[in-house]
């Protein structure tokens, strides 16, 4: 018969085993956290690009249907007119896109020429609602040409507008600039 050795493991063997296990666990944690950080950075970048493209698409939809545009760079207000004739009537529709630099959002207001001054007064007071939210994380918004378009008497179409957005989210930035061509004839807006 063999004699069984029931002496177990020594304290040194236990410490060495725990040290090796700790090193392996630390390596696994570092590997997983690096992967997680990379995933979060990619998600942030994708969120910015998606938000920028969605916002630019909404702006393009408004611009393409307009027949004159004015941009107030001082107040960061883009006004897109939808006039039926050669001058703006009180019932003519318009969109007002406002960049609020304090909360870094773009807001869209659909109104008429008759209500324009009341909407602009709300904007100057900083009155915003989530119903008017058009885009988030906007760091900068610009339009070229800044003064809009001038009616030349012929109302020739084909005028190009450059719209730019710069977004920032969780330390990442994304810039998008796009040329847009008005499809409709340019009309005189008083």
- The DSSP code sequence of 8-25 is ---HHHHHHHHHHHHHHH
Q: What is the DSSP letter of 124?
A: H
pLDDT of res. 146: 67
Query: What value does the mean pLDDT of the chain take?
Result: 83
Environment class of residue 31 by beta-carbon count within 10 Å: exposed (0-12), middle (13-18) or buried (19+)? exposed
Alpha-carbon span 41 to 139, nearest angstrom: 19
Tell me the helix, strand and coil percentages in the chain, rounded to 5.
Answer: 35, 30, 35
Q: How far apart are CA 20 and CA 66, in angstroms?
A: 70
Structural domain boundaries in the chain: 33-185
Q: Is the pTM higher than 0.85?
A: no
pLDDT digits (tens, 9 = 90+) for 106-140: 999 998 888 888 888 888 787 777 788 899 999 99
Predicted confidence (pLDDT) per residue in 137-172, tens digit: 999 999 887 666 655 555 554 578 889 999 998 888
Concatenate the DSSP letters of all residues of 65-116 into one string: H-SEEEEETTTTEEEEEE-SSSS--TT-EEEEEEEETTTTEEEEEEEEGGGH
* 115 burial level (CB within 10 Å; 0-12, 13-18, 19+): middle
Place of tokens 């600039």: 177
At residue 89, the pLDDT reads 67
Angle, vertex CA 153, rays to CA 149 and CA 156, nearest 5: 60
């Amino acid at each position: 018969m063999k004699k069984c050795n029931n002496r177990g493991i020594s304290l040194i063997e236990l410490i060495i085993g725990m040290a090796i296990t700790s090193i392996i666990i630390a390596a696994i944690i570092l590997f997983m956290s690096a992967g997680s950080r990379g995933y979060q950075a990619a998600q942030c970048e994708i969120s910015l690009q998606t938000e920028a493209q969605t916002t630019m698409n909404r702006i393009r939809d408004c611009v393409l249907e307009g027949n004159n545009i004015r941009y107030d760079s001082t107040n960061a207000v883009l006004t897109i007119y939808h006039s039926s004739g050669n001058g703006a009537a009180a019932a003519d529709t318009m969109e007002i896109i406002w960049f609020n630099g304090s909360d870094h959002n773009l807001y869209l207001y659909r109104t008429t020429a008759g209500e324009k001054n009341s909407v602009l007064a709300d904007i100057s007071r900083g009155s915003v609602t989530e119903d008017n939210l058009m885009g988030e994380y906007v760091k900068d918004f610009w339009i070229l040409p800044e003064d809009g378009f001038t009616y030349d008497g012929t109302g020739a179409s084909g005028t190009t507008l450059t719209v730019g957005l710069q977004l920032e989210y969780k330390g990442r930035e994304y810039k998008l600039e796009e040329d847009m061509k008005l499809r409709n004839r340019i009309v005189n807006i008083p």
